[in-house]
Amino acid sequence: MALLYAFLVILAFIALFLYSIYIPLPDELDGRWRLQILEPILRLLHEYPARIIELIYGPEARCRYSRWFFDLAKQPKCPKTITIVTDDYDGVPVRVYIPQQADNKGAIVYIHGGGFAIMNTKAYDGVIFALMKRLKMPVISVEYRLAPEHKFPAAIDDCESAIVHLMEYKCKELNVDPSKVVVMGDSAGGNLSAVVAQRLKRRTDIKFQLKVQVLIYPFIQCVDMQLPSYQLYAKKYNHTALLDPRSMARYSLLYLGIPATWSNVDKMTRNEHVTRTVREKAPFANHLSHKKLPASFLHDDLYDEPHSPNGDSKLCADLEPFMFNPDFSPIMATDLKGLPSAFIVTCGWDILRDDGVLYAKRLEEQGVTVNWVDYPSAIHGFVSFPSALRSHILDDISRFVQSNL
């Protein structure tokens, strides 16, 4: 009988603990019940330990823990139809995936996500295998330098150097037409892809330009961290392990070399990192207007009209050089004409949803061919998780790439 009582007490404590960490996820999420199990596990094993490490040792230590944690994830075996080669493109390490038989002369440069600070090329093996199943062409994944050890613009410089080296020297070796190179990236990699496409367009010393850009839930700016998609997080799935505003602020600060203190992160999430004067300037008002977003994103019960706080003078001064720099905020570029055709993916449950939408609008205003597709039930990071929805989205991306090469 004593053993039974002990068992029941332990069971009650477990039930109480699980109840205490339970956060209901929105019903509309794709694979909600699977996520409802995985999300608290991710909080317990990653988010909570990372938070403690950050409080004790600082944001850089937290970043190292995140790298270690996500490196534990196993990737699928390489299919027999693909050969993987490690190479060096103009001093930049790359991971080259070569199909047994290519069906066209194109190539994809993939730039991985991870907030400019975590993840690596191997972590995206599964994504690239799935992509190459549809697009039988070489994929070059760039191992760019990570923050905070290597600050802005190191990652951009690496990606640009690798792409130029590919187009000018390696295409012949890979049996690729240098005029048919696609740049593709997700999250921070989407930012780097957009920035590199702009940089290359401005260059007059290179023979070839990118043919297509595919931006998967890209990070485009952090001037406004009160966009409707950020507000949706706060009101519908706050405190979950899905990409949150604090993480985005922390990664941005680490990338830019500005102290990613708890206080600075808090101020960014409240939009206190940009002065009211700067916020009211034309680039901000024109390019990041909430009115440009679909009306369905502005639900009365989930959206509050934007306000303009005065801002913290020190943090504002530190960040102002970057907020309107197109190498960090590609939406702020003055001239986007002539950029390669773009396929932009956004997810309904992602704080970066509105970044992608606003950049798509900006490109269209400048005459760039854009195919923007929003997947209302998807979450940030979906390309890393095999599912029917990922298959559907990769099919859409593949059709766009094939039709534009």
Which residues are identified as catalytic? 187, 350, 380
Whose structure tokens read 């002539």? 338
Q: List residues bridging with 142 in a β-sheet.
A: 94
| Closest-CA residue to 118 (of 139, 97, 145) | 145
Q: How far apart are the first and last CA of the chain?
A: 73
The vertex-378 CA angle with 394 and 84, nearest 5°, equals: 35
Question: Dihedral of the CA atoms 319, 324, 326, 330 (nearest 10)?
Answer: 100
Residue type, 110: Y
Are the C-beta atoms of residues 65 and 50 closer than 8 Å to each other?
yes
Contacts of 172 (CB under 8 A, 6+ apart): none
